[in-house]
Amino acid sequence: MSELAYKSIIYQFLNHKLTVEEFIDLYMQQWKSDRDDISLDPRFRRLIDRVFTSCDCYREAPKTAYEIDEKDLRNEIDLLSYIWWQYPL
């Protein structure tokens, strides 16, 4: 696992270098390869799991209260990255 890998994917998404679909695909691939890594810092695990949940809730056209659109996904990812890295990406 590399925190830098997540940071890179998130940075590219927040800077519109990845579409939402590209971001979700890349993020999910990284998350799946790391999800069983017991050496992860538990706080970082919560962060990447929260991003995973946000990605899972994304819908192009939300129909229920728990689904989010691209704007909400970007806002959520921006907030989570700020919390973890303490500065805007």
pLDDT along the chain (89 residues), means of 10: 88 97 97 87 92 97 96 96 79
pLDDT reported for residue 1: 54
pLDDT reported for residue 37: 84
pTM of the full structure: 0.89
Distance CA 20, CA 52 (A): 13
CATH of domain 1-85: 1.20.120.650
Furthest C-alpha separation in the chain: 38
Q: Crossing angle of helices 42-57/70-85, nearest 10°? A: 170
